């Protein structure tokens, strides 16, 4: 076993290296001081000329419709049966309004005919054609009934249509909620799988955190919303086609008027959808800072310092400042969007009123029956609403697609470190020889190298302690051995093979490590240790051996439930450990692997002198074994 560990201990090699320095990107803004956020950058406005606007609109339509197949595939893969049920209920609901309007026409005419029969003592025998219906329905000849019988029959039919509409709405709400749950889970899993596949460089770029947050929050509801909107468009289109056919019988001009008047409101809504997306993208930084401030005030690991330094009120004030900046910008956007929609929406209101007036005048001069009046006014309103629904639906699809691009952008992100297409087999058994051959490395965006032309060799079974000032590159050395980064120049070899030739996961399986900023998992003591080799997380004997090797046995045996004691208080009534106690648990996690290379970064920084001495004695014993 080869062991490398910064700090005091056996034979040492010293070197001094430059401190890592990040590239100067301007004044840092953590949110803890200063302004809430620089002013919102201006939104790029679209073209002003007619041709430019048409091309812009065409591009928006093309981009949105092109995104539909992959969104549908995402939703379908999450739950095929629920997606199909949502589509069927939506399609059926699309033709019911026309049937309901026609039934209302027949019912009105039947009532008028019944009044005439009663007042003028006419024969009480009515056919379907006599009340404005067709003479026959496919191969069925409607019977001759009394006025009361027709009224009761049509009233029951209308009630059935209302009941079916309500039932379909309920089924649609259920399927949409179930589908939302399935898709949300699928997207979270996709984001987690992608995040796990990306290398460490991704997490050291603040823009990556913004992208992750947008993919997790902004995009998580959008696929179902976009598909529901698309299915809603199908429903609205079916309603529109049936109703516009009715309206064309009265006046093609009125049908055209109903088609055209909603378009300005649609253009305005699409424009504000783009602005809203830009504000949300800009605001993702603010939301992360707001969430960070909430974490500082509400998490136990920060509670001691927050209480001691009296930071609670200060953090709350900072949250209030940033939240006002974020929600203030959204408030102005929402007000402008809906007021503009209201202004342009008045055109549709005027067009509908003119249609009602025209149909009423036609009824007065005897060209239409009262049933026709009911049908055509319903058709006019429905066509108007359908056009608004189609345009608003497309505007919604366009906006949903903007947000979904965050998810697809994350999914298309590739690791900066590429695995070998034909990886070499990790030597079995591995001897554990490590050789740095003229290695130079600089962190992404840094001006200075963290390591420069570094060469050394660690022999199998050798224990090497690395000592250097803060920022000298000690932790960087470990990251390179674990292949969390690739060097900019030179090679790192294990047992004579360049580590770039290995599969990264197979290489890391041969390395046990404890970093300086080790993780304190909110889990039981056994789980905290077992995560060092997740295949053996339920192997209690192996876990106890690792605990003994790290000197944590006495600590854990003194806990209320031993290895089954919850550490941390996030989820259970657990126990909070001291820094030195947590360090022993983290060290035991490193021992869980039967690794030939053991990397310990400041392994005794939180231990007392006796515990430090005992640890080094155990390490010497392990290397001799």
Provide DSSP, 420-459: PSSPBPPPSS----EEEEEEEE--TTBSS-SEEEEEEEE-
Instruction: Report the alpha-carbon distance of residue 590 to residue 593 in Å, rounded.
Output: 7
CB 615 within 8 A of CB 9: no
The CATH number assigned to the domain holding 180 equals 1.20.1560.10
Between CA 317 and CA 328, with CA 322 as vertex, the angle to 5 degrees is 120
What is the band of 8 on the pLDDT scale with cuts at 50, 70, 90? very low
Instruction: Report the alpha-carbon distance of residue 158 to residue 146 in Å, rounded.
Output: 18
Question: Could you tell me which residues are beta bridge partners of residue 12?
Answer: 465
Phi, psi (5° rounding) for residue 432? 95, 20
Mean pLDDT of 492-511: 90
pLDDT computed for residue 174 by the predictor: 92
pLDDT computed for residue 547 by the predictor: 92
Mean pLDDT of 394-401: 76
Residue 227 shares a structural domain with residue 340: yes
pLDDT computed for residue 22 by the predictor: 36
Mean pLDDT of 334-355: 72
Structure tokens at 99: 């049937």
Phi, psi (5° rounding) for residue 422? -130, 75
Mean pLDDT of 71-79: 86
Structure tokens at 243: 């109703």
Instruction: Report the alpha-carbon distance of residue 407 to residue 400 in Å, rounded.
Output: 11
Domain boundary among 411, 440, 471: 411
What is the band of 10 on the pLDDT scale with cuts at 50, 70, 90? very low
Q: What is the residue whose two structure tokens read 């095929």?
A: 80
pLDDT at 48 over 90: no
Mean pLDDT lowest among 252-256, 274-278, 474-478: 274-278
CB 225 within 8 A of CB 75: no
Mean pLDDT lowest among 21-25, 315-319, 379-383, 522-526: 21-25
Mean pLDDT lowest among 65-79, 100-114, 253-267, 389-403: 253-267
What is the tens place of the pLDDT at every residue in 83-96? Answer: 899 889 988 888 88
pLDDT computed for residue 558 by the predictor: 92
Instruction: Report the alpha-carbon distance of residue 616 to residue 338 in Å, rounded.
Output: 69
What is the tens place of the pLDDT at every residue in 128-165? Answer: 766 666 655 555 677 778 888 888 888 899 899 999 99
Number of domain units in the chain: 2
- Parallel/antiparallel/unpaired status of strands 463-467 and 12-14: parallel
The answer to whether residue 355 sits within a structural domain is yes
Reference 571, options 623, 527, 616, 517; nearest CA is 527
The answer to whether residue 570 sits within a structural domain is yes
CB 80 within 8 A of CB 224: no
Mean pLDDT of 189-200: 85
Residue 453 shares a structural domain with residue 586: yes
Q: In what order do the strands lie in the sheet with 463-467?
A: 12-14, 463-467, 2-6, 597-600, 511-514
Structure tokens at 23: 């590239």
Instruction: Report the alpha-carbon distance of residue 211 to residue 284 in Å, rounded.
Output: 8
Mean pLDDT of 258-276: 67
CA 198 vs CA 184, 205, 209, 212, 422: distances in Å: 21, 12, 13, 12, 20
What is the tens place of the pLDDT at every residue in 52-66? Answer: 555 655 666 676 777
The answer to whether residue 531 sits within a structural domain is yes
The answer to whether residue 25 sits within a structural domain is no
What is the tens place of the pLDDT at every residue in 576-624? Answer: 888 888 888 998 998 888 788 888 887 767 667 777 777 777 766 666 5
The answer to whether residue 69 sits within a structural domain is no
Instruction: Report the alpha-carbon distance of residue 543 to residue 524 in Å, rounded.
Output: 12
Most confident of 45-49, 249-253, 275-279: 249-253
The answer to whether residue 51 sits within a structural domain is no
The CATH number assigned to the domain holding 584 equals 3.40.50.300
What is the tens place of the pLDDT at every residue in 230-265? Answer: 888 788 888 877 777 777 776 777 777 767 776 776
- Parallel/antiparallel/unpaired status of strands 597-600 and 511-514: parallel
Q: Give 369 or 338, the one with higher predicted confidence.
A: 369
Question: Could you tell me which residues are beta bridge partners of residue 6?
Answer: 466
Q: Is omega for the bond preceding 254 within 30 degrees of 0, making it cis?
A: no
Residue 268 shares a structural domain with residue 137: yes
pLDDT at 323 over 70: yes
Exposure letters 424-462 (e unless 16+ CB within 10 A, then b): eebbeebebbbbbbebebbbeebeebbbbebeeebeebb
Residue 402 shares a structural domain with residue 431: no
CA atoms within 13 A on the CB side of 306: 16
Residue 198 shares a structural domain with residue 294: yes
Instruction: Report the alpha-carbon distance of residue 539 to residue 534 in Å, rounded.
Output: 10
What is the tens place of the pLDDT at every residue in 415-465? Answer: 888 778 888 888 888 888 899 999 999 988 788 899 999 999 998 888 788
pLDDT computed for residue 257 by the predictor: 73
pLDDT computed for residue 359 by the predictor: 76
Mean pLDDT of 290-315: 79
Cα 147 to the chain's mean position, in Å? 59
Give 191-230 as a DSSP string: HHHHHHHS-HHHHTSHHHHHHHHIIIIITTSHHHHHHHHH
- C-alpha gyration radius of the chain: 36
What is the tens place of the pLDDT at every residue in 533-576? Answer: 888 999 999 999 999 988 899 999 999 999 999 898 877 778 88
Q: Which helix (H) or strand (E) holds 617?
A: helix 609-624
Q: Give 16 or 546, the one with higher predicted confidence.
A: 546
Residue 361 shares a structural domain with residue 245: yes
Instruction: Report the alpha-carbon distance of residue 34 to residue 107 in Å, rounded.
Output: 70
pLDDT computed for residue 17 by the predictor: 30
Domain boundary among 389, 411, 433: 411
Residue 405 shares a structural domain with residue 428: no
Residue 178 shares a structural domain with residue 317: yes
Mean pLDDT of 68-83: 86
Q: Give the mean pLDDT of the chain.
A: 78
What is the band of 269 on the pLDDT scale with cuts at 50, 70, 90? low
Domain boundary among 377, 411, 445: 411
Instruction: Report the alpha-carbon distance of residue 278 to residue 280 in Å, rounded.
Output: 5
pLDDT computed for residue 6 by the predictor: 45
Instruction: Report the alpha-carbon distance of residue 87 to residue 64 in Å, rounded.
Output: 19
Q: Give 527 or 31, the one with higher predicted confidence.
A: 527
Structure tokens at 500: 């770039």
- Which range marks the domain in which residue 504 is found? 2-17+423-624
Measured between alpha carbons, how far apart are the two ends of the chain, in Å?
9
Instruction: Report the alpha-carbon distance of residue 446 to residue 485 in Å, rounded.
Output: 14
pLDDT computed for residue 23 by the predictor: 38
Q: Give 448 or 469, the one with higher predicted confidence.
A: 448
Instruction: Report the alpha-carbon distance of residue 344 to residue 421 in Å, rounded.
Output: 58
pLDDT at 37 over 60: no
The answer to whether residue 110 sits within a structural domain is yes
Residue 376 shares a structural domain with residue 490: no
Structure tokens at 325: 């900046």
Residue 440 shares a structural domain with residue 330: no
Residue 159 shares a structural domain with residue 201: yes
- Parallel/antiparallel/unpaired status of strands 2-6 and 597-600: parallel
CB 4 within 8 A of CB 466: yes
On the 0-12 / 13-18 / 19+ scale of CB atoms within 10 A, 33 is exposed
Residue 155 shares a structural domain with residue 288: yes
The Cβ of residue 203 has, within 10 Å, a number of other Cβ atoms equal to: 12
Instruction: Report the alpha-carbon distance of residue 114 to residue 124 in Å, rounded.
Output: 8
The answer to whether residue 569 sits within a structural domain is yes
Mean pLDDT of 271-275: 64
């Amino acid at each position: 076993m080869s062991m490398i560990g910064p700090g005091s201990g056996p034979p040492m090699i010293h070197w001094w290296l430059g401190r890592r320095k990040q590239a100067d990107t301007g004044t840092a803004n953590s949110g803890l001081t200063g302004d809430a956020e620089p002013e919102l950058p201006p939104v790029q406005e679209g073209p002003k000329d007619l041709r430019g606007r048409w091309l812009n609109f065409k591009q928006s339509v093309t981009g949105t419709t092109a995104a539909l197949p992959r969104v549908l595939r995402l939703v379908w893969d999450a739950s095929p049966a629920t997606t199909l049920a949502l589509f069927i209920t939506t399609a059926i609901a699309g033709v019911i309004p026309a049937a309901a309007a026609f039934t209302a026409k027949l019912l009105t005419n039947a009532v008028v005919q019944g009044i005439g029969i009663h007042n003028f003592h006419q024969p009480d025998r009515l056919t379907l054609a006599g009340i404005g219906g067709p003479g026959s329905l496919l191969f069925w000849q409607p019977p001759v009934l009394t006025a009361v019988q027709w009224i009761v029959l049509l009233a029951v039919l209308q009630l059935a249509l209302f009941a079916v509409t309500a039932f379909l709405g309920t089924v649609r709400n259920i399927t949409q909620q179930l589908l939302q749950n399935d898709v949300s889970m699928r997207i979270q899993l996709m984001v987690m799988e992608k995040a796990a596949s990306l290398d460490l460089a991704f997490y050291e770029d603040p823009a990556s955190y913004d992208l992750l947050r947008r993919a997790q929050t902004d995009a998580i509801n959008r696929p179902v919303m976009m598909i529901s909107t698309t299915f809603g468009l199908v429903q609205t289109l079916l309603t529109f086609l049936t109703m516009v056919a009715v309206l064309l019988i009265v006046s093609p001009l009125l049908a055209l008027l109903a088609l055209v008047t909603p378009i300005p409101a649609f253009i305005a809504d699409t424009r504000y959808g783009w602005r809203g997306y830009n504000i949300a993208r800009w605001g993702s930084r603010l939301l992360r800072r707001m969430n960070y401030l909430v974490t500082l005030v509400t998490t136990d690991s920060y509670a001691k310092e927050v209480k001691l330094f009296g930071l609670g009120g200060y953090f709350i004030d900072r949250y209030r400042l940033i939240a006002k900046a974020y929600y203030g910008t959204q408030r102005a956007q929402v007000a402008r969007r809906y007021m503009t929609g209201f202004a342009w929406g008045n055109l549709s209101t005027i067009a509908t009123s003119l249609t009602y007036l025209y149909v009423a005048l036609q009824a007065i001069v005897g060209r239409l029956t009262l049933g026709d009046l009911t049908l055509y006014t319903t058709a006019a309103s429905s066509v108007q609403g359908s056009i608004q629904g189609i345009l608003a639906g497309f505007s919604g699809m366009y906006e949903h697609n903007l947000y979904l691009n965050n998810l697809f952008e994350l999914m298309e992100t590739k690791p900066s470190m590429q695995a070998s297409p034909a990886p070499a087999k990790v030597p079995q058994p591995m001897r554990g020889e490590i050789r740095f051959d003229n290695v130079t490395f600089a962190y992404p965006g840094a001006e200075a190298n963290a390591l420069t032309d570094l060469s050394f060799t660690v022999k199998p079974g050798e224990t090497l302690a690395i000592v250097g000032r803060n920022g000298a590159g000690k932790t960087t050395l470990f990251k390179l051995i674990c292949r969390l980064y690739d060097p900019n120049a030179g090679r790192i070899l294990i047992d004579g093979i360049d580590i770039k030739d290995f599969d990264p996961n197979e290489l890391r399986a041969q390395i046990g490590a404890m970093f300086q900023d080790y993780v304190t998992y909110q889990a039981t003591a056994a789980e905290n240790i077992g995560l060092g080799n997740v295949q053996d997380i339920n192997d209690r004997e192996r876990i106890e051996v690792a605990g003994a090797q790290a000197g944590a046995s006495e600590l854990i045996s003194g806990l209320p439930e031993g290895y089954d004691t919850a550490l941390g208080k996030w989820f259970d009534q657990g126990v909070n450990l001291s820094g030195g106690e947590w360090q022993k648990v983290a060290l035991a996690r490193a021992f869980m692997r039967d690794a030939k290379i053991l990397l310990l970064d400041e392994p005794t920084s939180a231990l007392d002198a006796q515990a430090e001495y005992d640890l080094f004695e155990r390490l010497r014993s392990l290397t001799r074994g």
